[in-house]
Amino acid sequence: MLKQFIIKISCYFLIFSLILGCKKDEASPPDPILGNWQVYSISGDGETIVWDELKETLVSLIPEYDCMAWTVSITEELVTTNIVLPDYDSNSCDAAEVTIWTWERTKDSNEYTFTKGLIEVSIYNITVSGNQMTWKDQFDGAVTIWSKIE
Give the helix/strand (H/E) hosting 59: helix 51-61
pLDDT of 60-109, one tens digit each? 999 999 999 999 999 999 999 999 999 988 889 999 999 999 999 998 89
User: Of 44, 59, 65, which is closest to residue 141 (Cα–Cα)?
Assistant: 44
Assess contact for 101 and 115: CB atoms under 8 A: yes
Please give the average per-residue pLDDT across 112-123, as a whole number: 87
Reported confidence tier of residue 118, pLDDT bands at 50, 70, 90 = confident
In which band, very low, low, confident or very high, does the pLDDT at 11 lie, cut at 50, 70 and 90? Answer: very low
35-148 CATH, one of 2.40.128.280, 2.40.50.140, 3.40.50.970, 3.30.470.10: 2.40.128.280
User: What percentage of the chain exceeds 90 in pLDDT?
Assistant: 66
For residue 66, what is the DSSP state?
G
* Sequence ranges of the domains in the chain: 35-148
* pLDDT at site 7: 58
**Which amino acid does the sequence have at 97?**
E
The answer to whether the pTM exceeds 0.85 is: no
pLDDT greater at residue 113 or residue 25 = 113
pLDDT band at 110 (very low <50, low <70, confident <90, very high): very high
126 pLDDT tier (thresholds 50, 70, 90): very high
